[in-house]
């Protein structure tokens, strides 16, 4: 979703204007945006394909929107042409959309959308702190991968810096061209209900359907699983559709077992942010992740694929992190791990396909006799029945 954006430069000291710097919340301020709807400001950091499309939608929704580019030269080009022909060709940028370089900082923003690759999330956090982020501004990640330092979902990094109530993420099937022209089906997720609902309202006003979720970690891991699964399907499709489907299914199952350990819910991976996004990615003729898998299968080294495609490929960099996170979490993940080795050039394609075809998932955890009475729920049922027998005198 994020397109291609090289590392962020140092935005320097906080801009003038009396705004408070970023950091932990000081006294329970809640992040809803600091003004009424018509005066709220949004800043999108990253002018790749999704960042540009997102800025267009936000401007349409009525927010005073700024799109920040990596370099002054890119900002000058977009301002002159009022289009981003490199990453989102054919889309006219709204007249109300402000375009500037990232060095301008984010002091004016009520909502900051980070449309940068997940591997740069730590760097983005540092840039926000230097850029004058207001202490009540919301920070929203739209990345679909894990951070490079610890292999964590981006919101886990953001909430340690800014507080959980100021942090959200966005997932779901959102092909950029279609989102601008026809709409999309997004998921806005935060542990803060009002923040999630306010984001959903913003997207709705911009012509995009948006589900509300309180499971940001599940939504982010669904996106990471989707990218890896789409690449795996692309790498395996020429060897058979059953193998491609098995590769994607194994990866989702392996990531789910890890997500469950972090408290995520299954509906996040089987809903819009997971399988819905996977279908959109695999079917898209210009899908970067699927195309990357096809090029891997054709023998193109992973290091050469971004240049061939013309944009960064999130799954090429995040799959190894995903496999490491599953291993640290004690999750048996042979297919995700093998995909990481395939990307690294350590596993031949034939061995990858053979592993996918022969891997058997862990056995089901069978319930004991008594069905619903088994486990924690069963213990509660047994206690309730014992109480009922005492008060009714029945055996």
| Residue from 111, 120, 226, 291 carrying the catalytic annotation | 226
**Which residue matches tokens 């790749």?**
48
**Contact (Cβ atoms closer than 8 angstroms) between residue 308 and residue 300:** yes
Q: Which residues of 291-311 are buried (b: 16+ CB within 10 A; e: fewer)?
A: bbbbbbbeeeebeebbeebeb
Phi, psi values for residue 163, rounded to 5°: 95, 140
**The length of the chain, given as a count of residues:** 395
Q: Which two tokens stand for residue 198?
A: 């306010």
**Which residue matches tokens 């004991």?**
368
Residue 273, burial from CB neighbour count under 10 angstroms (0-12, 13-18, 19+): buried
Q: Which residues of 225-250 are buried (b: 16+ CB within 10 A; e: fewer)?
A: bbbbbbbbbbbbbebeeebbbbbbbb
∠ CA 305-258-297 to the nearest 5 degrees?
A: 25
Q: Residue 226 catalytic?
A: yes
d(CA 349, CA 67): 41
Phi, psi values for residue 147, rounded to 5°: -75, 155
By annotation, the residues acting in catalysis are 226
């Amino acid at each position: 979703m994020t397109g291609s954006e090289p590392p962020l430069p140092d935005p320097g000291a906080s801009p003038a204007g009396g705004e408070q710097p970023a950091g932990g919340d000081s006294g329970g301020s809640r992040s809803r945006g600091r003004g009424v709807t018509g005066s709220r400001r949004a800043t999108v950091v990253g002018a790749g394909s999704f960042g540009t499309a997102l800025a267009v939608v936000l401007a349409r929704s009525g927010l005073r929107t700024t799109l920040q580019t990596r370099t002054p030269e890119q900002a000058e080009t977009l301002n002159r042409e009022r289009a981003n022909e490199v990453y989102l060709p054919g889309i006219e940028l709204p007249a109300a959309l402000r375009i500037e370089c990232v060095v301008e900082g984010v002091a004016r923003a009520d909502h900051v959308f980070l449309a940068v690759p997940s591997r740069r999330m730590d760097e983005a956090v540092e840039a926000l702190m230097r850029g004058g982020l207001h202490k009540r501004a919301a920070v929203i990640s739209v990345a679909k991968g894990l951070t490079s330092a610890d292999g964590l979902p981006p919101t886990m990094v953001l909430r340690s810096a800014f507080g959980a109530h100021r942090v959200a993420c966005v997932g779901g099937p959102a092909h950029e061209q279609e989102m601008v022209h026809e709409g999309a089906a997004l998921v806005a997720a935060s542990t803060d209900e009002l923040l999630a609902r306010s984001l959903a309202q913003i997207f709705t006003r911009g012509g995009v359907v948006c589900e509300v979720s309180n499971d940001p970690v599940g939504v982010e891991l669904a996106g990471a699983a989707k990218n890896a699964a789409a690449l795996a399907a692309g790498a395996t499709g020429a060897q058979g559709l059953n193998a491609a489907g098995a590769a994607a299914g194994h990866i989702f199952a392996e990531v789910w077992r890890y997500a469950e350990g972090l408290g995520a819910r299954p509906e996040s991976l089987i809903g819009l942010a997971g399988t819905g996004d996977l279908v959109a990615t695999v079917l898209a003729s210009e899908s970067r992740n699927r195309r990357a898998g096809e090029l891997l299968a054709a023998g193109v080294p992973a290091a050469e694929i971004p240049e061939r495609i013309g944009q960064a490929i999130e799954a090429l960099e995040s799959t190894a992190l995903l496999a490491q996170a599953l291993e640290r979490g004690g999750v048996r993940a042979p297919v995700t791990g093998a995909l990481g080795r395939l990307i690294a050039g350590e596993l031949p394609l034939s061995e990858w396909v053979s592993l996918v075809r022969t891997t058997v998932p862990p056995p089901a955890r069978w319930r004991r006799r008594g069905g619903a009475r088994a486990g924690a729920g069963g213990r509660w049922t047994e206690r309730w029945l014992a109480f009922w027998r005492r008060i009714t005198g029945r055996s």
